[in-house]
């Protein structure tokens, strides 16, 4: 089963029956204007369409990792991107994952979290976590379908 099946099983967690297109992924990552020697985190990489663009534009001296909550998408991502760091967990654990990589701040957070499906309390918790780890001048870019 694939992405659409995961949406049917858990629309609150997935948020869209279809993954982001490559043209949309490119637009998102282009808008970030990724710099070298940066810490980049992708929240909710799903099938990896945005990941592909991040990898194309990330310098070798940057740290890039992803956090995926859905177990099936996490496993599929690991198969499709064996050299990319992915953590199976939730976005509100971002500080824990940064600590694992000896970091405390992020220069870029690119998110595909389906915000509209989350409770207000959870949204506030996640935004607070993101604000806490975003470096001065850092960018938070989100897409919600």
Contacts 24+ apart (CB under 8 A), 21-26: 21/49, 22/49, 22/52, 22/53, 24/49, 24/143, 25/49, 25/50, 25/52, 25/53, 26/53
- Burial bucket for residue 120 (CB in 10 Å: 0-12, 13-18, 19+): exposed
- Residue 72 inside a domain? The answer is yes
Residue 2 confidence class, pLDDT cut points 50, 70, 90: low
pLDDT at 25: 80
pLDDT at 20: 58
- Residue 22 inside a domain? The answer is no
What percent of the chain is predicted at pLDDT more than 90? 70
Residue 13 confidence class, pLDDT cut points 50, 70, 90: very low
Domain count, the chain: 1
Residue 27 confidence class, pLDDT cut points 50, 70, 90: confident
- Residue 41 inside a domain? The answer is yes
pLDDT at 68: 95
- Residue 104 inside a domain? The answer is yes
What mean pLDDT value characterizes the chain?
Answer: 87
- Residue 86 inside a domain? The answer is yes
The stretch 96-108 carries a mean pLDDT of: 98
- Residue 126 inside a domain? The answer is yes
Nearest of 49, 112, 41 to residue 80 by alpha carbon: 49
Residue 90 confidence class, pLDDT cut points 50, 70, 90: very high
Q: Which residue has the higher pLDDT, 141 or 15?
A: 141
Note the pLDDT tens digit of each residue in 28-69.
899 999 999 999 999 999 889 999 999 999 999 999 999 999
- The domain of 78 spans 31-142
Say which CATH number the domain at 96 has. Answer: 3.40.50.150
For residue 79 the two structure tokens come to 């198969």
Q: Under a CB-based contact definition with an 8 Å cutoff, are residues 50 and 28 in contact?
A: yes
- Residue 79 inside a domain? The answer is yes
- Residue 11 inside a domain? The answer is no
The stretch 13-21 carries a mean pLDDT of: 50
């Amino acid at each position: 089963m694939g992405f659409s099946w995961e949406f049917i099983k858990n629309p609150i967690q997935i948020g869209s029956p279809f993954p982001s297109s490559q043209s949309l992924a490119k637009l998102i990552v282009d808008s970030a204007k990724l710099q070298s020697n940066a810490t980049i985190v992708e929240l909710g990489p799903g099938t990896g369409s945005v990941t592909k663009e991040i990898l194309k534009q990330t310098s070798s001296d940057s740290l890039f990792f992803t956090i995926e909550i859905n177990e099936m998408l996490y496993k599929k991502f690991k198969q499709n991107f064996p050299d990319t760091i992915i953590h199976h967990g939730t976005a509100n654990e971002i500080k824990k994952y940064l600590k694992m990589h000896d970091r405390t701040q992020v220069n870029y957070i690119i998110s595909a979290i389906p915000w509209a499906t989350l409770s207000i309390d959870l949204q506030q918790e996640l935004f607070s976590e993101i604000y806490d780890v975003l470096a001065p001048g850092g960018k938070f870019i989100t897409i919600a379908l």
